[in-house]
A and B are shown apart, each in its own frame.
Chain A
Amino acid sequence: MIPIEYFLTLGAILFGLGLFGVLSRRSAILILMAVELMLAGVSINFIAFASYLDTDAFTGLIFALFVITVAAAEVGLALGIVLRLFRERRTSNVDEASDMRW
């Protein structure tokens, strides 16, 4: 077996890339894609812990399944909001959606 650290590093890199994308992208849809990346990274972490440390119950695997499901639902909702925003503003640039300010 390869050491668990390899999987954890992979998960961390994916999470980091996703975080970078959330913070630096202008388009709403790209932000959502970056969020998906963060979720993927987290899922890899859970599965790695499940395989290496919790071999009997595989709790991490179950958790990863949950994550995928929730991600799907959340993206559906989020895309609905982005669609609405685009219809109102003709733009999906999140910088433009700053009306709730001081």
Chain B
Amino acid sequence: MPDISVTIGMQQAWLLPAMPVVAFLIISFFRKILPREGDFLAVIGMLGILLVTLFIIIDFQGFFHDGEFHPGEANVYAFDWVRISADNFLFLIEFSTYIDAISVVMLIAISIVGLMVAIYSTGYMQGEDRYGWYFAVLSLFVAAMLLLVTSGSLIWMYLAWEGVGLASYLLIGHYWDRQSAAEAAKKAFITTRIGDVGLLIGIILLWKATGSFDIQTIIAAATSGQIGETYLTVAMLALFAGAVGKSAQFPLHVWLPDAMEGPTPASALIHAATMVVAGVYLIARFSPVYEVVLVARDVILYTGLLTAFLAASMGLVTSDIKRVLAFSTISQLGFMFVALGVGAVGAAMFHVLTHAFFKALLFLGSGSVIHATGRQEVEYLGGLRRKQPVTAATFIIGSLALAGIPIFAGFWSKDEILHSVSSYASPFVYIVLAGTAVLTAIYTTRLVLLTFFGSPRDKSAFDHAHESPSSMTVPLLLLGLLATVSGFFVFDAVGKLFGFSGGIGYLVYLHHPHAFHIDWAFASVATVSSLTGVIIGWVYWHGGAERAIKARAWSPDLHALLVNRYYLDELYQGIINRVVLGLAGIVAWFDKKIVNETGVDGGAQLIGYFGYRLKFLQTGKIPNYALGIATGILVLSVMVLARA
């Protein structure tokens, strides 16, 4: 890379969240008077972020030699935010930014996808209500996400964690006049909140053990054995609980399919590329610690595995194209957690990057379909490749990447994960994961066939369809390009071309950087299984999808189980109705009967009763009062005289 004299580097990482925050403030306050309600400010913000990210990467590469990162203090920027100190006691919360390879990967994903989504949104959201507010919240989201991935302090990361949850709630509920959207936003926030409680407990436990909120300090303390093993296991499981909520893993995955009520570009950014990988980022960050508490890491492994398989099975029967992609996201996140569960941090982060590109591509493509036809369910689609060629082509590229077909990005990252799993985990895990990969290929093929091929199922939707404007198709094309080539970053030669010491194995790793070599046998097996999935999908769903319809008739109960998402939503609602509302009923009874009626009303009634009985003393007759006076004087004088 040419040696550019940079005044912006890792020390200025705080600019990353600062710029979109400014955009958010300006748009939200002045959108009524800004031209086009200020959407260009959001796009400019994204461009600025991309620029600063590039500078940070250049600065980062300066300290990266032969796969070893030795920045000294250059990658940390910190100042005291809250400092309370006494003799032996120090309570310190710093605002600090910390840049390393993991941050860099996240920054690339966020900045590129953010820019694509912002540009796309100017086309997609044209004419919608609260157009400016959408861009404001989008900027807010990006600000919080950037703060999350650059923060070196757990408290600021938690703040950003909640911030992305807030932005997600606002965006899911953007069409709040629709009851289902409002419900979905509430569900998303509450479900992730349950996980966030775990995260907070974990943060507090770690602070209690180490006295610090600084991530690197905690990692150093944990890996050097300063924290008891059981204690540390509990703390790390608590942190994982936060990841389970935010990254929609079983059992807290239920919010993500419903979150598709939000505008599609928001879904692309938040629920595909960035927010949902915050959990992956968290675990990746703490991967040196998880290596010390392998029990916790096994929990991560099996949770991810279960989630991946379950979600893929549910995606197979869904008819809403966005929901298929939502289940796909949950499943792919499961893949990332499986990788983390075997300690393959590089593979996980690589999949984060490629998944960000192809999943955002798929979501934006589906948005293009929705924008053109006004429909989301496959019952009303079909044959759209003739009306929307660019959308169809890019969507197919994204699907090939998702299915893991070679040369496309998903193949390389998924292969890395499967390879690590086969090396470090039991054969059972590998078989289930490989089976899930086949399922992925099947449901992806199904989606493509039902949407873009075959004959149109709804005439009015088909006639109305047209290719989307360039503000939407250009991001699709760019993301399509990235979904094709970003997989090549696994090669060391490609990595060196960009100024790194090698491919992804040299950038993100747990202990040692490792060079990349293709295991041809393994890769062929993976390719064959992906192609098998595609072929199965074609066999069942091409044309009029007769075979699929027959298969559904063959096992209606299984189909019902999958369509109803394993009845988990009903289970949770049942728990809420019985346990939560039951407890609430008891507390309400206590408040009404004991505090209100006995305490407050009872006290008042007691005094009223006494007052009623005593009032009869006031007869109004003068001789009675005279008697009272006389009696009083008599008693007093007797008391005085007796004392004397």
User: Which residues of A does B touch, CB under 8 Å?
Assistant: 19, 22-24, 31, 94-95, 97-102
Instruction: Rank and list the top 9 A-B pairs by shortest CB-CB distance, nearest first.
Output: A101-B620, A98-B620, A102-B615, A98-B621, A94-B622, A102-B618, A100-B620, A101-B619, A22-B626
Tell me whether A102 and B616 are in contact (CB under 8 A): yes
A19-B630, A23-B630 given as contacts; is B623 within 8 A of A95 (CB)? yes
A98 touches B627 (CB 8 A): no
* Chain A residues closer than 8 Å to B619, beta-carbon distance: 98, 101-102
Give A98 to B620 CA distance when docked, in angstroms: 4
Residues in chain A near residue B618, CB distance under 8 A = 100-102
Quick one: closest A residue to B627, CB to CB?
A: A23
Q: Tell me which of B615, B617, B620, B623 contacts A23 (CB under 8 A).
A: B623
Checking B620, B626, B627 against A99 with a beta-carbon cut-off of 8 angstroms, the contacting residue is B620
A102 contacts which chain B residues (CB < 8 A)?
615-620
| Contacts between chains A and B (CB distance < 8 A), count | 34
User: B interface vs A, CB < 8 Å?
Assistant: 615-623, 626-627, 630
A91 to B: closest C-beta gap in Å? 13
Given contacts A98-B622, A102-B620, 20 further A-B contacts (CB under 8 A): A22-B630, A23-B623, A23-B626, A23-B630, A24-B623, A94-B622, A94-B623, A95-B621, A95-B623, A97-B620, A97-B622, A99-B620, A100-B618, A100-B620, A101-B618, A101-B619, A101-B620, A101-B621, A102-B617, A102-B619
Name the A residues within 8 Å of B615 (CB-CB): 102
Closest to A95 in B: B621
Q: In the assembly, what is the distance between CA of A22 and CA of B623, in Å?
A: 8
The 8 listed contacts between A and B (C-beta, < 8 Å) are A19-B630, A23-B630, A95-B621, A95-B623, A98-B619, A98-B622, A100-B620, A102-B619
Q: Which of B616, B618, B622 counts the most A-chain CB atoms under 10 A from its CB?
A: B622
Residues of B within 8 A of A97 (CB): 620-622
Bound complex: CA of A100 vs CA of B626, how far in Å?
15
When distances are taken between beta carbons in the complex, the residues of chain A under 8 Å from B621 are: 94-95, 97-98, 101
A residues less than 8 Å from B627 (CB atoms): 23
Q: How far is the CA of A102 from the CA of B617 in the complex (A)?
A: 8
Alpha-carbon distance A102/B619, docked complex (angstroms): 6
A95 to B625, CA, bound (A): 11
Please give the distance in Å from B623's CB to the nearest CB on chain A: 6
Q: Nearest residue in B to A98 (C-beta to C-beta)?
A: B620
- How distant is the Cα of A11 from the Cα of B619 in the complex, in angstroms? 32
With both beta carbons as reference points, the residue of chain A lying nearest to B614 in the complex is identified as A102
CA distance A38 to B615 in the complex (A): 31
Q: How far is the CA of A97 from the CA of B626 in the complex (A)?
A: 14
Least CB separation from A24: chain B residue: B623
Cβ contacts under 8 Å, A31 to chain B:
622
Q: How far is the CA of A89 from the CA of B615 in the complex (A)?
A: 26
- Distance (Å) between the CB of A19 and the closest chain B CB? 6
- Residues of A contacting B620 with CB < 8 Å? 97-102
Residues of B within 8 A of A99 (CB): 620
Q: Which A-chain residue is minimally distant from B624 (CB atoms)?
A: A98
Chain B residue at minimum C-beta to C-beta distance from A26 = B623
A94 to B618 CA separation, bound complex (whole angstroms) = 15
**Which residue of B has the minimal Cβ distance to A19?**
B630
Q: Name the residue in B619, B623, B630 with the highest tally of chain A Cβ atoms < 10 Å from its Cβ.
A: B623
- CB nearest to B620 among chain A residues: A101
Q: How far is the CA of A31 from the CA of B626 in the complex (A)?
A: 11
Q: List B contacts of A94 (CB < 8 A).
A: 621-623
Bound CA span A94–B625, Å: 12
Q: How far is the CB of A82 from chain B (nearest CB, A)?
A: 11
> Once the chains are docked, how many angstroms separate the CA of A98 from the CA of B619?
7
By a CB distance below 8 angstroms, the chain B residues around A22 are 626, 630
Give CA–CA (A100, B621) in the complex, Å: 8
Q: How far is the CB of A84 from chain B (nearest CB, A)?
A: 15
CA distance A102 to B618 in the complex (A): 6
For B618, give the chain A residue with the smallest CB separation: A102
Chain B residues with Cβ under 8 A from A98's Cβ?
619-622
State how many angstroms separate the Cβ of A98 from the closest Cβ of chain B.
4
Task: Name the residue of chain B whose CB is nearest to the CB of A99.
Answer: B620
Q: How far is the CA of A19 from the CA of B632 in the complex (A)?
A: 13
- Rounded to whole Å, the gap between the CB of B621 and the closest CB of chain A is 5
A79, B37: Cα distance in complex, Å: 89
Query: For residue B622, which residues in chain A have a CB less than 8 angstroms away from its CB?
Result: 31, 94, 97-98
Shortest distance in angstroms between A27's beta carbon and chain B's nearest beta carbon? 11
Residue in chain A with minimal CB distance to B615: A102
Nearest opposing residue in chain B for A101, CB measure: B620
Which of chain B's residues has its CB closest to A28's CB? B622
- Give the complex CA separation of A97 and B619 in angstroms: 10
Instruction: Report A88 CB to chain B, min CB distance, Å.
Output: 15
Considering only CB atoms, which chain A residue lies closest to B612 in the complex?
A: A102
A19 proximity list for chain B (CB < 8 A): 630
Bound complex: CA A19 to CA B618 (Å): 22
B residues in contact with A100, CB < 8 Å: 618, 620
What residues of chain A lie closer than 8 Å to B616, measured between beta carbons? 102
How far does the alpha carbon of A90 sit from the alpha carbon of B615 in the complex, in Å? 29
Q: How far is the CA of A24 from the CA of B627 in the complex (A)?
A: 10
Closest to B629 in A: A22
Q: Which residues on A sit within 8 Å (CB–CB) of B630?
A: 19, 22-23
Task: List B contacts of A95 (CB < 8 A).
Answer: 621, 623
Taking each of A24, A31, A102, which has the highest tally of chain B beta carbons within 10 Å of its own beta carbon?
Answer: A102
* Nearest CB of chain B from residue A33's CB, rounded to whole Å: 14
State A45–B620 Cα separation when bound (angstroms).
33
Question: What is the distance, in angstroms, from A95's C-beta to the closest C-beta of chain B?
Answer: 6
A98–B617 Cα distance when bound, in Å, is: 12
Contacts of B617 in A (CB 8 A): 102
Q: How far is the CB of B625 from chain A (nearest CB, A)?
A: 10
Task: State how many angstroms separate the Cβ of A18 from the closest Cβ of chain B.
Answer: 11
User: Smallest CB-CB separation from B621: which chain A residue?
Assistant: A98
Write the chain B residue with the least CB distance to A25: B623
Write the nearest CB–CB distance from B560 to chain A, whole angstroms: 75
Interchain nearest-CB distance for A102 vs B (Å)? 4
What separation, in Å, do the CA atoms of A101 and B615 have in the docked complex? 9
Q: How far is the CA of A12 from the CA of B627 in the complex (A)?
A: 18
Neighbouring A residues of B623 by C-beta, 8 Å: 23-24, 94-95
How far is it, in angstroms, between the C-alpha of A3 and the C-alpha of B618 when the chains are bound?
A: 45
Q: Which residue of B lies closest to A94 (CB)?
A: B622
CB distance from A15 to the nearest CB of B (A): 11
The complex places the Cα of A3 from the Cα of B490 at a distance, in Å, of 130
- Distance of A60 Cα from B606 Cα, bound (Å): 52
Determine how close the nearest CB of chain B comes to the CB of A39; give it in whole angstroms. 15
Q: How far is the CA of A94 from the CA of B621 in the complex (A)?
A: 7
When chains A and B are docked, how far (Å) is the Cα of A23 from the Cα of B634? Answer: 14
Complex Cα distance, B563 from A98, in Å, reads 85
State A22–B626 Cα separation when bound (angstroms): 7
> In the complex, which of the residues B617, B619, B626 has the most CB atoms of chain A within 10 Å of its own CB atom?
B626
